[in-house]
Structures are given as structure tokens and as C-alpha cells.
Amino acid sequence: MPGVAVVVPWRGGCPHRERAWAWVRARLATEHPDWEIIEAPGPEPWIKSLAVMPAVERCSAGIIVVHDADVISAGTTAAVEEVRAGAPWAQPHEIVHRLSEEGTAAVLAGADPAGQPLAERPHQGMQGGGIVVLPRVVIQSIPLDAAFVGWG
């Protein structure tokens, strides 16, 4: 069975996101102790590809989970299993619910994410954002595009 690496494009500096990432990292490590977690620092200006792709090249896992630092999804394990079964890629979420700082603080304190205050209206997720799971060979042959500069 191919190993799994969670590659997290990341740059610190925002206390709100740093708290979220610490919580997400601990959750990933607890739920998936056999998955490698790789923090992938990015350049200024932010170019997600230039954070993710060098980390992918350094690891040896057969399955890559590109995972934003402030995202959770109950479907990540199922997405990994879909890729193990032969899917070319899988995304474990459809609708993005972006919590407010207050909502995030409540979740970090142990509250259920459902029903927490949101920073914006829920919207359709995009491939490549949030969480996407791919075989290593796919992300190496069709890398993230370095022409996308900036956040969001």
C-alpha cells in the first residue's frame, strides 16, 4: 500500500491561522499517525506551487494530500482510499464553510464546527484548494501552476 504524505503549503505570521494550523496538525497526527506531515514554506509573493512542488519532490509517498493549513474535512480518509483504488484525484469536500475568528476559536476550544459563525457565505470548493488528494505520479506530471500568484 503506498504511503501518504500530507503537504501543507504554509507561511506563518497570522496568529489566527497559526492557531488553526497547530490544531489541524495535531488532529492530522492523531487521526493518521502513519501519514507523513510536511510543512511546505512558500515564497514572497505567495505562489502555492513553489511551496508544494519542492516538498512533493523531497518525499517518497505514493499518495499526496495537498492540505491547506486551516482546513478540516471528515472525508479526507475516504478520498485517500479513492486514490488508492485508482482514482486520478479526489477532493474530500464540496462546500467550503469559512469560519469566523470567533467560530474558529470555538472549534479550537472543542466545539463542533457545524453551526459556528462564518466569515463569509458558504461556497463551492475548487479543485486544488482546501484539500486535494492525488497519486504522486499525477502531481509530478501535472504540477500546480506557478502562474497563480497570491492567496485565494
113 or 141: which carries more pLDDT confidence?
141
**Does residue 19 form part of some domain?**
yes
Q: Which domain holds residue 134?
A: 4-141
What total number of domains does the chain contain?
Answer: 1
Q: Does residue 146 have a pLDDT over 60?
A: yes
**Does residue 62 form part of some domain?**
yes
**Does residue 70 form part of some domain?**
yes
- The mean pLDDT value of the chain amounts to 89
Give per-residue pLDDT as tens, 52-111: 999 999 999 999 999 988 888 888 999 999 999 999 999 988 777 778 888 888 988 989
**Does residue 147 form part of some domain?**
no
Segment (H or E) for 54 = helix 48-58
Q: For residue 140, give the C-alpha cell.
A: 509530478
Angstrom distance (rounded) from CA 1 to CA 82: 13
Q: Enumerate long-range contacts of 116-122, CB under 8 Å, 24 or more apart.
A: 122/95, 122/96, 122/97, 122/98
**Does residue 149 form part of some domain?**
no
**Does residue 131 form part of some domain?**
yes
Give per-residue pLDDT as tens, 12-51: 888 888 988 999 999 999 999 999 999 999 888 989 999 9
Q: Are 61 and 3 in contact (CB under 8 A)?
A: yes
Q: Enumerate long-range contacts of 82-85, CB under 8 Å, 24 or more apart.
A: 82/133, 83/133, 83/134, 83/135, 84/1, 84/2
